[in-house]
Amino acid sequence: MEQQKITLEKTQQDNYFYSEAIKTLRTNIQFCGSGIQVVMFTSSLPNEGKSETTLSLAESLGSIGKRTLLIDADMRKSVFAARYGIKGKINGLSQYLCGQKTREEVIYATNIENVDFILAGPYSPNPAELLEDPLFKELIEAARKDYD
């Protein structure tokens, strides 16, 4: 099965200081040790920059040859599809965790070098329960094998 592809439209203008901050973040994560493969971003409030930071970090890691999988686990209020102009019917994490889609059906190649993406999928009224499901742990373990 050929991997599905999505195109992410660039929304942020180039900013030297922001780019340098992302490179510093990338370097700090790399200096945490060779065993670091999973990083989670969260905050207590909306609009604090989680989506932009995670996508920028994924892009930065991809630019140095690291195979990166970005997983959007915000199954209540995801902004990725709207913010980055993703068109069409997209399968996502909520459908995978409900058993409606396979892992291969929710992983998308992107127009960003070395970066694949799993979008949140349709709204889920019970995201915490879905993220506690053994399928999520299996997804992370499989990603550890396929991505840096």
Q: What is the pLDDT of residues 15-54, one digit of tens each?
A: 899 999 999 999 999 999 888 999 999 988 888 999 999 9
Nearest residue to 107 (alpha-carbon basis) of 93, 89, 124, 88: 93
Per-residue exposure over 39-56, b if at least 16 CB sit within 10 Å of its own CB, e if not: eeeeeeeeeeebbbbbbb
Q: What is the pLDDT of residues 82-141, one digit of tens each?
A: 888 898 889 999 999 999 999 999 999 999 999 999 999 998 889 999 999 999 999 999
The H or E element containing residue 4 is strand 4-6
Q: What is the pLDDT of residue 142?
A: 96
Single pTM value for the model: 0.92
Residue 70 has pLDDT above 90, yes or no: yes
Q: What is the pLDDT of residue 9?
A: 86
Q: What is the pLDDT of residue 12?
A: 67
Q: What is the pLDDT of residue 46?
A: 86
Q: What is the pLDDT of residues 50-67, one digit of tens each?
A: 999 999 999 999 999 999
Q: What is the pLDDT of residue 129?
A: 94
